[in-house]
A and B are shown apart, each in its own frame.
Chain A
Amino acid sequence: AQSVAQPEDQVNVAEGNPLTVKCTYSVSGNPYLFWYVQYPNRGLQFLLKYITGDNLVKGSYGFEAEFNKSQTSFHLKKPSALVSDSALYFCAVRAFSSNTGKLIFGQGTTLQVKP
């Protein structure tokens, strides 16, 4: 079965410091991996994706993620955190048990950036 795990419920960082939000996955075949961010009472906003190619993927708002096949990880990173980055972050994998490709989410990580 396809699955995604985010081992940390919450990550706290000081503004200006680098941040990492962790994600590991389990899929059969090649993984299609995504990161989304959610602000309170909002839908999910797409940040970035890994499909193929370079292991370091760059996305919106200065975020990037590193795909590591041997460790089955896809950690989200940002060199310098902003208070406005505080939100709920979801890692997701697109699983092709049918032709529609269900999007399966990790449990989410709350990022708190303190001034």
Chain B
Amino acid sequence: DAMVIQNPRYQVTQFGKPVTLSCSQTLNHNVMYWYQQKSSQAPKLLFHYYDKDFNNEADTPDNFQSRRPNTSFCFLDIRSPGLGDAAMYLCATADPRGNTEAFFGQGTRLTVV
């Protein structure tokens, strides 16, 4: 059974048109992460939540925003997508205790045209 679900799996958006990616979880984890992954590179952390406490990475562009209305759901908003934002976006959840692994969704492949 899927525990971290990302929708959609594939998203095509126009240059400059706002787009929202969604993530839901059934694990009731406090921590949720959003990563950007380009071309089989290492996933790059954009931001993460501990409950509703939002933590932005210093190098995450302002173009990227996030919302977490409740424990189960988290959204990634790209306000004005550029060609360079085309990537795989990965959502993950974790228990805040370090001795447990993070659980990843299947990812959303974003194409900007």
From the candidates B92, B96, B97, B107, name the one contacting A41 in the complex (CB within 8 A). Answer: B107
- In the bound assembly, the distance between CA atoms of A52 and B99 in angstroms comes to 9
Q: Return the chain A residue nearest B57 by Cβ.
A: A102
Q: List chain A residues, Cβ under 8 A from B41.
A: 107-108
Interface presence of B87 (CB below 8 A): no
Interface presence of B43 (CB below 8 A): yes
The answer to whether A98 and B98 have CB atoms under 8 Å apart is: no
Q: List chain B residues, Cβ under 8 A from A103.
A: 33, 45, 92, 94, 102
In the complex, what's the smallest C-beta–C-beta distance from A113 to chain B, in angstroms?
17
- B-facing residues in A25-70 (Cβ within 8 Å): 32, 34, 36, 41-46, 49, 51-52
From the candidates B31, B42, B103, name the one contacting A101 in the complex (CB within 8 A). Answer: B31
The answer to whether B42 and A32 have CB atoms under 8 Å apart is: no
Q: List chain B residues, Cβ under 8 A from A34.
A: 101-102
The answer to whether A100 and B31 have CB atoms under 8 Å apart is: yes
- In the bound assembly, the distance between CA atoms of A36 and B92 in angstroms comes to 13
- In the bound assembly, the distance between CA atoms of A14 and B66 in angstroms comes to 44
For B48-59 the 0/1 string (1 means CB < 8 A from A) is 111000010000
CB within 8 Å for A43 and B105 given contacts A101-B31, A103-B92: yes
Q: How large is the interface on A (under 10, 10 to 19, 20 to 34, 35 or more residues)?
A: 20 to 34
From the candidates B33, B50, B101, B106, name the one contacting A42 in the complex (CB within 8 A). Answer: B106
Q: Return the chain B residue nearest A92 by Cβ.
A: B102
In the complex, what's the smallest C-beta–C-beta distance from B92 to chain A, in angstroms?
7
From the candidates B45, B90, B99, name the one contacting A102 in the complex (CB within 8 A). Answer: B45
In the complex, what's the smallest C-beta–C-beta distance from A10 to chain B, in angstroms?
11
From the candidates B43, B49, B103, B109, name the one contacting A46 in the complex (CB within 8 A). Answer: B103
Interface presence of A78 (CB below 8 A): no
From the candidates A41, A51, A52, A100, name the one contacting B109 in the complex (CB within 8 A). Answer: A41
Q: List chain A residues, Cβ under 8 A from B45.
A: 102-104
**Nearest 3 A-B pairs (CB), nearest first?**
A43-B104, A105-B42, A51-B99
A: which residues have CB within 8 A of B? 32, 34, 36, 41-46, 49, 51-52, 88, 90, 94, 96, 98-108, 110
